[in-house]
């Protein structure tokens, strides 16, 4: 993994580059966090997302 940080407009921005092995480990970690949080994606959301590293936020139904 490689980290790069830079300040911009008073904020620190961080960029992360993974090795293939690191990417797989991170994706597995995020999947487990989602499981523990009870986040369940619909089949459409699973196929539409960029990959398992993108966390899904439960949607609220309109009031």
All structural domains of the chain with their residue ranges: 19-56
Q: What is the pLDDT confidence band of residue 63, given thresholds at 50, 70 and 90?
A: very low
**pTM to 2 decimals?**
0.47
For 28-59, letters b (16+ CB in 10 Å) and e give eebeeeeeeeeeebeeeeeeeeeebeeebeee
The secondary structure of residue 36, as a DSSP letter, is: H
pLDDT for position 54? 52
pLDDT tens for residues 10-55? 899 998 888 999 889 989 998 888 888 887 665 666 665 555 545 4
Q: Locate 9 and state its tokens.
A: 């407009």
In this structure, how many other beta carbons lie within 10 angstroms of the beta carbon of residue 22?
13
């Amino acid at each position: 993994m490689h980290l790069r940080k830079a300040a911009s407009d008073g904020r620190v921005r961080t960029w992360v580059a993974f090795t293939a092995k690191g990417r797989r480990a991170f994706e597995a970690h995020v999947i487990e966090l989602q499981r523990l949080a009870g986040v369940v994606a619909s089949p459409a959301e699973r196929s539409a997302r960029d990959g398992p590293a993108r966390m899904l936020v439960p949607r609220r139904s309109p009031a």
